[in-house]
């Protein structure tokens, strides 16, 4: 009788049938069921019927399996204590972890101990200044996601990359975009893995430019587009090479780069929120978002350490 009840319970769990059909011990099943009940209480049972337009154009107010499959990462829902109520199956693709293993457990159990404070502070933070920017520009009328870069356990990165001397074996850097759920005590998180710091694999779009600096953020290389945007227009032959990267940033946003400069030494890869760069060293600015990589190479004669900015213009 008991086994029959548990087999019936397994059918009700919000898991793929291939997973729920496998042998899951009773303790795990109770943990998953508890998480499902909490999720049900938060989101409720009402669900409107999807129209053809929803599937063709997408729906802003509802998540479907199609949305989650298209997400270049995975999706997490946390309760007020930080326990995982739901995590999408794609977690196994990006981190090699199991949906069954993580559901019902605290999210911080999988985050690097040095990044836990950062994660907790972002989860409890007020709407970010990026939201204030976009609201001022009439781009949105709701909270803009809080963002942070943290290292999360992964079975796919047991050994550090040979060019990342200070990498954290067993962890992968993720970009987390955290928003408030339908209940103020819940958090919905879109998790995106950072690209590998092997620069040949990073795609440079037409509205992007590349700057390479030393570890003190003094510029050692800038592509042609960066020169066009950032050099002094009063001196056409001027070169931004040799300048500090900080001199190209609006002073109000220097905290964004300062935080990145600190975190990049631990993480190896980083994605910034939007910040302002000074256009041609005038009083005008423009917004960019940067993927940043720390690249370390060791040869028999020298040790090279550099930071690469791949910045996209808003």
Query: Domains in the chain and their CATH numbers?
Result: 2-54+65-193 (3.30.450.20), 199-313 (3.30.450.20)
Sequence-distant (≥ 6) Cβ neighbours of residue 278 within 8 angstroms: 230, 248, 249, 250, 284, 285
Supply the pLDDT for residue 19: 59
Q: Of 216, 254, 222, give the one whose Cα is nearest residue 240.
A: 222
Q: What is the per-residue DSSP string for 106-129?
A: BGGGGB-GGGHHHHHHHHTPPPPH
Is the pTM for the entire model greater than 0.85? no
Supply the pLDDT for residue 196: 62
Supply the pLDDT for residue 6: 72
pLDDT along the chain (314 residues), means of 10: 71 62 72 81 58 45 50 86 90 89 92 93 64 44 72 77 59 90 85 70 83 95 93 80 94 94 90 93 92 80 85 92
Question: Alpha carbon of 76 to those of 45, 106, 109, 190: distances in Å?
Answer: 19, 12, 14, 7
Alpha-carbon distance of 1 to 257, in angstroms, equals 61
Q: Are strands 219-222 and 269-271 parallel, antiparallel or unpaired?
A: unpaired
Question: Alpha carbon of 193 to those of 173, 225, 266: distances in Å?
Answer: 6, 27, 16
Supply the pLDDT for residue 48: 46
Supply the pLDDT for residue 137: 44
Supply the pLDDT for residue 132: 45
Supply the pLDDT for residue 197: 55
């Amino acid at each position: 009788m008991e086994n029959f009840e548990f087999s019936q319970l397994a059918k009700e769990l919000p898991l793929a049938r291939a997973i729920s059909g496998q042998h899951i011990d009773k303790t795990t099943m109770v943990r998953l069921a508890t998480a499902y009940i909490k999720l049900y209480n938060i989101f409720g049972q009402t669900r409107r019927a999807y129209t053809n337009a929803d599937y063709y154009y997408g729906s802003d107010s509802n998540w479907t399996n199609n949305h989650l499959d298209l997400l270049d990462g995975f999706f997490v829902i946390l309760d007020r204590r930080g326990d995982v109520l739901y995590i999408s199956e794609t977690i196994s693709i990006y981190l090699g972890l199991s949906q069954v293993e993580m559901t019902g457990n605290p999210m911080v159990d999988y985050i690097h101990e040095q990044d836990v404070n950062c994660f907790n502070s972002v989860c409890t933070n007020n709407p970010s200044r990026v939201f204030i920017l976009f609201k001022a520009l009439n781009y949105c009328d709701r909270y803009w996601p809080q963002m942070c870069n943290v290292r999360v356990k992964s079975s796919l990165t047991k050994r550090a990359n040979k060019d990342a001397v200070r990498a954290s074996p067993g962890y992968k850097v993720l970009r987390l975009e955290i928003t408030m759920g339908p209940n103020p005590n819940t958090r919905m998180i879109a998790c995106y893995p950072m690209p590998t710091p092997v620069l040949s694999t990073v795609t440079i779009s037409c509205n992007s430019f590349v700057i390479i600096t030393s570890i003190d953020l003094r510029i050692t290389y800038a592509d042609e587009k960066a020169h066009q945007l950032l050099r002094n227009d009063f001196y056409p032959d001027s070169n931004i090479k040799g300048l500090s990267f900080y001199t190209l940033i609006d002073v109000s946003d220097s905290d964004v780069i300062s935080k990145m400069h600190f975190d990049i030494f631990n993480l190896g890869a980083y994605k910034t929120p939007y910040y302002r760069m000074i256009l041609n060293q005038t009083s005008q600015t423009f917004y960019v978002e940067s993927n940043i990589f720390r690249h370390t190479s060791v040869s028999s004669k020298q040790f090279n350490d550099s930071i690469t900015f791949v910045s996209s213009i808003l």
